[in-house]
Structure 1
Amino acid sequence: MARKTNQRRAPSKSWDAVAGWYLGWAGAEGSRHHRELAIPALMALLAPEKGERVLDIGCGAGALAPAVMAAGAHYTGIDKSPRLVAHGRKHHGGDARLLVGDATRLSALAALAPGGFDAATFLLSIQDIDPLDVTLRSAAWALRPGGRLVMLMTHPCFRIPRQSGWGWDDGRSLQYRRIDSYLTPLDVPMQEYGRKNGKEKPGVTRSYHRPLETYVAALAASGFVIDALQEIPAGNTGEEGRAQRRARREIPLFLGIGAWQS
């Protein structure tokens, strides 16, 4: 059951426990949604220049690395899961730098320096990291003055875990999006682990729903100025009817936010 986030949790190690599942779904190059929608949208907002230093926070196995390096920028990825980082290092080779670290405590990493990056990104990771305010202050620490921040997330207004879904209106032959809860912040259990094989202590990954105003307020409090916002609809599979195609075209799947450090 989803519940309110009214206290700060100890940092979770759950993503390392589900690394095998995640790699089976997304791999080191990302899922189809990563490759076809999320990465192109993030790169358009980021617009990295040759020689720039980009920090990818919550990088997983580094799905963003090829696009950043193809633009001539230097890629560093940070993730708490040693298994995902190890897979990314093996897959991407020495050109991509991947480090094990906590997004909320970037200053604790000896390999990083304050103001060491021109840009920071969250590619479908910000909604899996808590607390938000501490995470954004940590990202701000890593950026040079005037540095850029880009967040690409599932749209918090329309894609709320366990509190939204598709519905069908027979009278209008219309597919619609149902929203059961929005303004209340939620801590939502997602992927279970450790219950079948006994190798891990039983647990669950978590997703953190926050209304859009929370992201705007947290960015401002961390010294960021929003200068871009993009809403990205889902692609069509080619197997859907007219109503389904219209719904996916009109109701966005992802939200991208671009900001700079003031």
Structure 2
Amino acid sequence: MGRRKNQARPAGSDSWNPVADWYTGWVGAEGSEHHRRVAIPALLELLLPARGEQVLDVGCGPGVLAPHVAGAGARYTGVDASRRLLEFARRHHAAHGRFVQGDATKLQEIGELQAGAFDAAVFLLSIQDIDPLEDALAAAAWAVRPGGRVVLLMTHPCFRIPRQSGWGWDRQRKLQYRRVDRYLTRLAVPMKSYGAARHGFTRSYHRPLGAYVNGLAACGLRVDGIHEIPTHKSPEPGPHARAERLATREIPLFLGLRAVKEEGR
């Protein structure tokens, strides 16, 4: 689904490098289909980058957001813990901005970054792959100026819980429904292995929606925009196509949150 499974580790960590070739081969320089058609447009709608603004992309991976930010006339900085993903990003997007290596939860320790230097910080399909959440949000709040904004774009935590949710079919009512087995409990879910010889694996962190809203508020970040986004894909032809189409239109795939940093914080 285009999500980046990026575990938070100290700067210089090789924790995600084993799956970097798999990921960049799948996503490419422009992003997956979900990136291009859904996630990036939704994030830009919340971000509204303006000419001359400084934008920090946290957990930037291969840098697929860079040309879009640069195209709006804003100045792009991407940060990621994976050396190999940054190599790919620089190879394809160096003309669109700069890329620095570091821990998403410890932006304060990255020498190339300064407190309050950014008009906005964004997490494009990376926040659910970074832990601890509260440290990542505090680091983003540190990086943006008062009045600046933080934008999160993630798979919807209410409906898309790794290994704890899925689609079901009600034969009697002839409808497709979304089954949610667990929601309130925070989970660290190991995902299947990727990369050469299947040596690399990723981890996805589920938290309920309240953890994100309350975590932002604790950092002086006031939520002022919410965008719930369904998938763009149409179901395959078949006897359940109409029900599947209705379900995918009604139950969102992605959630976008925008928060503004309060003055004096």
TM score, norm. by length of structure 1: 0.91
Contact in 2 for aligned 1:74/1:96 (Cα 8 Å): yes
CA–CA separation in structure 1 for the residues paired with 2:178 and 2:232: 16
- Aligned residue pairs total 250
1:156-235 alignment, distance < 5 Å: 156-193=157-194, 196=197, 202=199, 204-235=201-232
What residue is the counterpart of 1:259 in the other structure? 259
What's the CA shift for 1:13? 4.1
What residue is the counterpart of 2:3 in the other structure? none
1:244 aligns with 2:241: no
Per-residue CA shift, 1:163-186, capped at 9, x if unaligned? 000111111211111100000000
Decide whether aligned partners of structure 1 residues 184 and 69 sit closer, same or farther in structure 2, where only a CA change above 3 A counts.
same
Contact in 2 for aligned 1:158/1:177 (Cα 8 Å): yes
CA–CA separation in structure 2 for the residues paired with 1:161 and 1:225: 28
Contact in 2 for aligned 1:16/1:80 (Cα 8 Å): no
Task: State the AA in 1 paired with 2:208.
Answer: P
What residue is the counterpart of 1:118 in the other structure? 119
CA–CA separation in structure 2 for the residues paired with 1:88 and 1:254: 24
CA–CA separation in structure 1 for the residues paired with 2:149 and 2:215: 15
CA RMSD of aligned residues (A): 1.6
What residue is the counterpart of 2:73 in the other structure? 72
CA–CA separation in structure 1 for the residues paired with 2:244 and 2:160: 16
What's the CA shift for 1:83? 0.6
Contact in 1 for aligned 2:55/2:121 (Cα 8 Å): yes
What's the CA shift for 1:25? 1.7
Contact in 2 for aligned 1:57/1:125 (Cα 8 Å): yes
1:90-129 alignment, distance < 5 Å: 90-129=91-130
CA–CA separation in structure 2 for the residues paired with 1:23 and 1:195: 13
Task: State the AA in 1 paired with 2:137.
Answer: L
Percentage of pairs with the same residue: 61
CA–CA separation in structure 2 for the residues paired with 1:193 and 1:59: 19
Per-residue CA shift, 1:162-210, capped at 9, x if unaligned? 000011111121111110000000000013257827xxxx553110000
CA–CA separation in structure 2 for the residues paired with 1:236 and 1:29: 19
Task: State the AA in 1 paired with 2:261.
Answer: Q
Q: Secondary structure at the match of 1:20?
A: helix
What residue is the counterpart of 1:3 in the other structure? none
Task: State the AA in 2 paired with 1:18.
Answer: V
What residue is the counterpart of 2:149 in the other structure? 148
Per-residue CA shift, 1:80-136, capped at 9, x if unaligned? 111111101111133321111110111111111111100000000000000011111
Contact in 2 for aligned 1:78/1:103 (Cα 8 Å): yes
What's the CA shift for 1:239? 2.6
What's the CA shift for 1:238? 5.6
Structure 1, unpaired ranges of 5+: 1-8
Larger deviation, residues 56-65 vs 237-246: 237-246
Q: Secondary structure at the match of 1:156?
A: coil
Contact in 2 for aligned 1:126/1:151 (Cα 8 Å): yes
1:11-22 alignment, distance < 5 Å: 13-22=14-23
Decide whether aligned partners of structure 1 residues 10 and 121 sit closer, same or farther in structure 2, where only a CA change above 3 A counts.
closer
CA–CA separation in structure 2 for the residues paired with 1:30 and 1:21: 13
Per-residue CA shift, 1:40-63, capped at 9, x if unaligned? 000000001100000000000111
